[in-house]
Amino acid sequence: MIGIVDYEAGNLNSVQKAFDFLEKESKILKSPEGWGNIQHLVLPGVGSFGFAMQRIQEKKMKKPLIEWIESGRPFLGICLGFQLLFESSEEFPGIEGLSIFKGTCRRFTGKKVPQIGWNDIHVARSVEWIQEIGNGEFFYFNHSYYVVAEEEEVVVATSCYNVEFTCIAGKGKVYGVQFHPEKSGRTGLKLLQNWAERC
Protein backbone atom coordinates (compact mmCIF):
# COMPACT_ATOMS: atom_id res chain seq x y z
CA MET A 1 0.00 0.00 0.00
CA ILE A 2 1.29 3.46 -0.98
CA GLY A 3 0.37 6.38 1.26
CA ILE A 4 0.05 9.84 -0.30
CA VAL A 5 0.36 12.58 2.31
CA ASP A 6 -2.34 15.26 2.15
CA TYR A 7 -1.25 18.47 3.85
CA GLU A 8 -3.40 20.67 1.58
CA ALA A 9 -0.47 21.72 -0.60
CA GLY A 10 -0.07 18.65 -2.78
CA ASN A 11 -0.97 17.54 -6.27
CA LEU A 12 -2.82 14.52 -4.90
CA ASN A 13 -5.22 13.53 -7.66
CA SER A 14 -2.72 13.21 -10.49
CA VAL A 15 -0.29 11.28 -8.26
CA GLN A 16 -2.99 8.84 -7.16
CA LYS A 17 -4.25 8.45 -10.74
CA ALA A 18 -0.72 7.56 -11.84
CA PHE A 19 -0.54 4.79 -9.25
CA ASP A 20 -4.05 3.65 -10.22
CA PHE A 21 -2.89 3.37 -13.83
CA LEU A 22 0.08 1.30 -12.66
CA GLU A 23 -2.31 -0.89 -10.63
CA LYS A 24 -0.57 0.06 -7.38
CA GLU A 25 -2.92 0.39 -4.43
CA SER A 26 -2.73 3.76 -2.70
CA LYS A 27 -4.63 5.91 -0.25
CA ILE A 28 -4.67 9.57 0.77
CA LEU A 29 -3.41 10.25 4.30
CA LYS A 30 -5.15 13.28 5.78
CA SER A 31 -3.81 12.92 9.33
CA PRO A 32 -0.94 11.24 11.24
CA GLU A 33 -3.25 8.30 11.93
CA GLY A 34 -3.87 5.35 9.63
CA TRP A 35 -0.30 4.82 8.49
CA GLY A 36 -0.06 1.31 9.92
CA ASN A 37 -0.68 -0.58 6.68
CA ILE A 38 1.48 1.69 4.52
CA GLN A 39 4.68 0.31 2.97
CA HIS A 40 5.64 3.27 0.74
CA LEU A 41 5.08 6.97 1.46
CA VAL A 42 4.80 9.83 -1.06
CA LEU A 43 4.99 13.54 -0.17
CA PRO A 44 3.76 15.52 -3.19
CA GLY A 45 3.65 19.30 -3.25
CA VAL A 46 2.84 22.45 -5.14
CA GLY A 47 3.05 26.02 -3.88
CA SER A 48 5.31 27.70 -1.36
CA PHE A 49 7.88 26.25 1.03
CA GLY A 50 6.68 28.26 4.02
CA PHE A 51 2.99 27.49 3.58
CA ALA A 52 3.74 23.79 3.12
CA MET A 53 5.77 23.57 6.33
CA GLN A 54 3.08 25.52 8.18
CA ARG A 55 0.38 23.08 7.05
CA ILE A 56 2.55 20.06 7.92
CA GLN A 57 3.06 21.49 11.40
CA GLU A 58 -0.63 22.35 11.85
CA LYS A 59 -1.70 18.85 10.80
CA LYS A 60 0.89 17.38 13.22
CA MET A 61 2.62 15.52 10.41
CA LYS A 62 6.20 16.75 10.77
CA LYS A 63 7.21 14.29 13.49
CA PRO A 64 5.58 11.25 11.79
CA LEU A 65 7.22 12.18 8.48
CA ILE A 66 10.67 12.45 10.04
CA GLU A 67 10.17 9.24 11.99
CA TRP A 68 9.11 7.42 8.81
CA ILE A 69 12.11 8.69 6.88
CA GLU A 70 14.60 7.99 9.67
CA SER A 71 13.27 4.43 9.94
CA GLY A 72 14.58 3.80 6.43
CA ARG A 73 11.22 2.93 4.89
CA PRO A 74 10.56 3.82 1.22
CA PHE A 75 9.82 7.52 0.76
CA LEU A 76 9.45 9.75 -2.31
CA GLY A 77 9.15 13.54 -2.27
CA ILE A 78 7.80 15.13 -5.46
CA CYS A 79 8.50 18.75 -6.52
CA LEU A 80 7.86 20.85 -3.40
CA GLY A 81 7.85 17.61 -1.41
CA PHE A 82 11.41 17.10 -2.65
CA GLN A 83 12.49 20.59 -1.59
CA LEU A 84 11.03 20.06 1.89
CA LEU A 85 13.57 17.28 2.48
CA PHE A 86 16.24 20.00 2.73
CA GLU A 87 16.97 22.55 5.43
CA SER A 88 15.67 25.84 4.08
CA SER A 89 14.57 27.96 1.14
CA GLU A 90 15.26 31.53 0.04
CA GLU A 91 11.51 31.76 -0.50
CA PHE A 92 10.89 31.83 3.26
CA PRO A 93 14.05 32.69 5.25
CA GLY A 94 13.91 31.37 8.79
CA ILE A 95 11.47 28.56 7.99
CA GLU A 96 13.06 25.17 8.62
CA GLY A 97 12.35 22.27 6.29
CA LEU A 98 12.35 18.62 7.28
CA SER A 99 16.19 18.82 7.24
CA ILE A 100 16.72 15.23 6.15
CA PHE A 101 19.48 16.35 3.79
CA LYS A 102 21.82 19.34 4.04
CA GLY A 103 21.16 22.09 1.55
CA THR A 104 18.86 24.92 0.59
CA CYS A 105 16.56 26.07 -2.21
CA ARG A 106 17.40 29.11 -4.31
CA ARG A 107 15.34 31.09 -6.82
CA PHE A 108 16.15 30.88 -10.50
CA THR A 109 17.56 34.03 -12.10
CA GLY A 110 18.43 35.01 -15.65
CA LYS A 111 15.59 33.18 -17.38
CA LYS A 112 11.83 33.17 -17.33
CA VAL A 113 10.70 32.06 -13.88
CA PRO A 114 9.19 29.60 -13.11
CA GLN A 115 10.64 26.87 -15.25
CA ILE A 116 7.56 25.27 -16.80
CA GLY A 117 7.91 22.44 -19.27
CA TRP A 118 10.10 19.55 -20.31
CA ASN A 119 13.77 19.32 -19.44
CA ASP A 120 16.32 16.54 -19.58
CA ILE A 121 18.21 15.01 -16.67
CA HIS A 122 21.79 13.80 -16.26
CA VAL A 123 22.38 10.82 -14.00
CA ALA A 124 25.24 11.36 -11.55
CA ARG A 125 24.91 8.17 -9.51
CA SER A 126 23.20 4.91 -10.32
CA VAL A 127 20.52 3.62 -7.97
CA GLU A 128 18.42 0.54 -8.65
CA TRP A 129 15.07 2.19 -9.27
CA ILE A 130 16.38 4.56 -11.96
CA GLN A 131 18.73 2.14 -13.74
CA GLU A 132 16.48 2.08 -16.80
CA ILE A 133 16.24 5.88 -16.88
CA GLY A 134 19.24 7.13 -18.82
CA ASN A 135 20.95 10.44 -19.42
CA GLY A 136 18.94 12.77 -21.59
CA GLU A 137 15.51 11.50 -20.57
CA PHE A 138 12.95 14.30 -20.37
CA PHE A 139 10.60 15.03 -17.49
CA TYR A 140 8.03 17.73 -16.79
CA PHE A 141 9.15 20.53 -14.44
CA ASN A 142 7.22 23.39 -12.86
CA HIS A 143 9.19 25.31 -10.22
CA SER A 144 10.72 28.69 -9.36
CA TYR A 145 13.22 27.41 -6.78
CA TYR A 146 15.87 24.74 -7.14
CA VAL A 147 17.78 22.56 -4.68
CA VAL A 148 21.43 23.18 -3.88
CA ALA A 149 22.51 19.99 -2.08
CA GLU A 150 25.55 20.33 0.18
CA GLU A 151 26.33 16.60 0.23
CA GLU A 152 27.51 15.32 -3.13
CA GLU A 153 26.80 11.72 -2.12
CA VAL A 154 23.03 12.30 -2.06
CA VAL A 155 22.89 13.74 -5.60
CA VAL A 156 21.46 11.16 -7.99
CA ALA A 157 20.72 13.34 -11.04
CA THR A 158 20.96 16.95 -12.16
CA SER A 159 19.29 19.17 -14.71
CA CYS A 160 20.04 22.64 -16.04
CA TYR A 161 17.94 25.79 -16.34
CA ASN A 162 20.49 28.60 -16.58
CA VAL A 163 22.21 26.88 -13.64
CA GLU A 164 22.86 23.22 -12.93
CA PHE A 165 20.71 21.96 -10.08
CA THR A 166 19.89 18.74 -8.28
CA CYS A 167 16.73 17.13 -9.63
CA ILE A 168 16.92 13.69 -7.96
CA ALA A 169 18.49 13.20 -4.54
CA GLY A 170 18.46 10.62 -1.81
CA LYS A 171 20.05 7.64 -0.18
CA GLY A 172 18.93 4.30 1.20
CA LYS A 173 15.22 4.18 0.46
CA VAL A 174 14.55 7.92 0.85
CA TYR A 175 14.45 9.95 -2.37
CA GLY A 176 13.00 13.06 -3.91
CA VAL A 177 12.52 14.33 -7.46
CA GLN A 178 12.14 17.96 -8.50
CA PHE A 179 10.05 17.15 -11.59
CA HIS A 180 6.55 15.68 -11.76
CA PRO A 181 6.82 12.00 -12.76
CA GLU A 182 3.02 11.72 -12.70
CA LYS A 183 2.90 14.30 -15.52
CA SER A 184 5.92 13.02 -17.44
CA GLY A 185 4.30 10.46 -19.72
CA ARG A 186 5.58 6.94 -20.12
CA THR A 187 9.02 7.68 -18.67
CA GLY A 188 7.55 9.23 -15.54
CA LEU A 189 5.19 6.31 -15.03
CA LYS A 190 8.10 3.91 -15.42
CA LEU A 191 9.99 5.83 -12.75
CA LEU A 192 7.06 5.58 -10.33
CA GLN A 193 6.65 1.89 -11.07
CA ASN A 194 10.34 1.23 -10.45
CA TRP A 195 10.21 3.15 -7.17
CA ALA A 196 7.13 1.25 -5.99
CA GLU A 197 8.60 -2.14 -6.89
CA ARG A 198 12.30 -1.74 -6.13
CA CYS A 199 12.53 0.55 -3.10
Q: Which residues are catalytic?
A: 79, 180, 182
Determine the Cα–Cα distance for residues 101 and 172; give it in Å rounded to an integer: 12
**Amino acid in position 16:** Q
Q: Which residues contact 4 (CB under 8 A, 6 or more apart)?
A: 10, 12, 15, 16, 19, 26, 27, 28, 29, 42, 44
Three-class SS of residue 3? strand
Three-class SS of residue 29? strand
